[in-house]
Amino acid sequence: MEDDFDGGTVKKFMFVNRKAPYGTIYALEVLEMVLISAAFDQDVHLAFLDDGVLQIKKGQDTKDLGHKNFSPTYRALEGYDIEKLFVEQESLEERGLTAADLMVDVEVISRADMAKLMGEMDVILTA
């Protein structure tokens, strides 16, 4: 892997999103952290589980809320070489959703595989 962060080490980061957007600031704040981490050339993984799957639901329209719709940013992550997006199958099912309801290309994995993936990370940030 390219390591042009002078003297630095590339670590496996996982940002775990488990809250719905707009009700709290967590989803937006994690997205900010993800974009910052991209600037440091880290091996970034994004996980969406529990209500976090709602962050990438298609068709978000916050006009009447007076709140910025930050969901298009998830589609821009590819441009920052952040392409490792994982969504938990069980969390989708619990909410009556499928991969077709999501606005970005993701890998849908089971809860058991999500747990395994977490075990491979150097740093995990959950919100």
Q: Which residues of the shown chain bind another protein in the complex (CB under 8 A)? A: 16, 18, 26, 49-50, 111, 114-116, 118-124, 126-127
Q: Distance between CA atoms of 51 and 19, rounded to whole angstroms?
A: 5
Amino acid, res. 55: Q
How many angstroms separate the first and last alpha carbons of the chain? Answer: 28
Q: Distance between CA atoms of 11 and 23, rounded to whole angstroms?
A: 31
The nearer residue to another protein, 2 or 120, going by C-beta atoms, is: 120
SS3 category, 48 = strand
The nearer residue to another protein, 65 or 115, going by C-beta atoms, is: 115
Neighbouring-strand partners of residue 33: none
Q: Least CB distance from residue 30 to another protein, whole Å?
A: 10
The nearer residue to another protein, 26 or 70, going by C-beta atoms, is: 26
Q: Least CB distance from residue 126 to another protein, whole Å?
A: 6
Q: Least CB distance from residue 49 to another protein, whole Å?
A: 7
